[in-house]
Amino acid sequence: MSFSEKNKFFDINKFPQDWGIIVLPISMSRIANAQSPQECINALEHFLHKIVVNKVGANFIYSEGLYMNFEKEAYETKNRFAQNAVSHMGGVRKLVAKNFRKFQIDSAFHFDSWFQMYLSHNDFFSTFRAIKDFYESDEDFQKQVARDAQEQGKELTPQQINFYLEEHTFVYLLLNRQLTLQNDFVNGREQWILLAYPGRPPRGQVYLFQKDPLHINSASNPYKGQYDLVEQKFIDYHNVDLDTF
């Protein structure tokens, strides 16, 4: 797989033979459609032929906590999102059991709330504050986030900015292996982490990786980017030209 040209992306042929985790962040706005239990199982089936050695787990992370940034909606959405997450987890587990011959190891599947992710880092909120400070001091970062909001039809309110920056901070830490992931099968032995999500990544997220304000990009992980489940291509963040992306 060659990354000699900017914005040229390819599928992954085979995963490394080391232990690894595929992380599927579940958006609460897509949980019943593009990220339904069946769509998630379809995505995992697509990855099966890429596994060389049976050392791969799958972690589902529900983003319900991100929506608490919108204070007026928090009370109304909490119960609904919690119910949706529990129902989605049950749906995935049923499909895994139904397709046991394909997936075989139930303990390879783990499910987390967004709030659990705060506890997976030794000081998430200090790190989040540092990313916010970087955003406030970097006009290009602000422009990329504004472009994301425009493309998504979102008003760039302080709450929306917090939503974006918290999401970007999480991914920045995750792919640089700064978070402790729970998976009974992998059991802390992961040497690689692959983020898998339908669609292109946000520009602001790519920009954060490229600038690396916390100087953590030296952490070992061959997949510093996002696997686009729609195009079935891996988008290497360091191979993105944001001017033409």
The residues that bridge with 234 in the sheet, in sequence order, are 10, 227
Would you state the pLDDT for residue 210?
98
By DSSP bridging, strand 225-228 and strand 233-236 are antiparallel
Would you state the pLDDT for residue 78?
73
Would you state the pLDDT for residue 72?
62
Q: What is the pLDDT of residues 163-199, one digit of tens each?
A: 999 999 999 999 999 999 999 999 999 999 999 999 9
φ, ψ for residue 147 (rounded to 5)?
-65, -40
Would you state the pLDDT for residue 2?
44
Would you state the pLDDT for residue 71?
61
Alpha helices in the chain (DSSP H): 37-48, 71-98, 100-103, 114-118, 124-137, 139-152, 158-175, 203-211
Quote the distance between the C-alpha of residue 129 and its chain's center. 20
Q: Check: CB of residue 187 under 8 Å from CB of residue 193.
A: no
Spatial separation of the C-alpha atoms in residues 108 and 55, rounded to whole Å? 9
Residue 15 is encoded by which pair of tokens?
Answer: 């995963």
Spatial separation of the C-alpha atoms in residues 150 and 156, rounded to whole Å? 8
Q: What is the pLDDT of residues 195-237, one digit of tens each?
A: 999 999 999 999 999 999 999 999 999 999 999 999 999 999 9
φ, ψ for residue 112 (rounded to 5)?
-130, 145
In the chain, the domains with their CATH numbers are 20-239 (3.40.50)
Would you state the pLDDT for residue 73?
63
Integer angstrom CA distances of residue 61 from 27, 72, 146, 196, 243: 9, 24, 26, 11, 31
| pLDDT surpasses 90 at 44 | yes
* Structure confidence at residue 3 as a pLDDT band (50, 70, 90): very low
Q: What is the pLDDT of residues 67-124, one digit of tens each?
A: 877 766 666 677 788 788 889 999 999 999 998 888 888 999 999 999 999 999 999 9
Spatial separation of the C-alpha atoms in residues 44 and 82, rounded to whole Å? 24
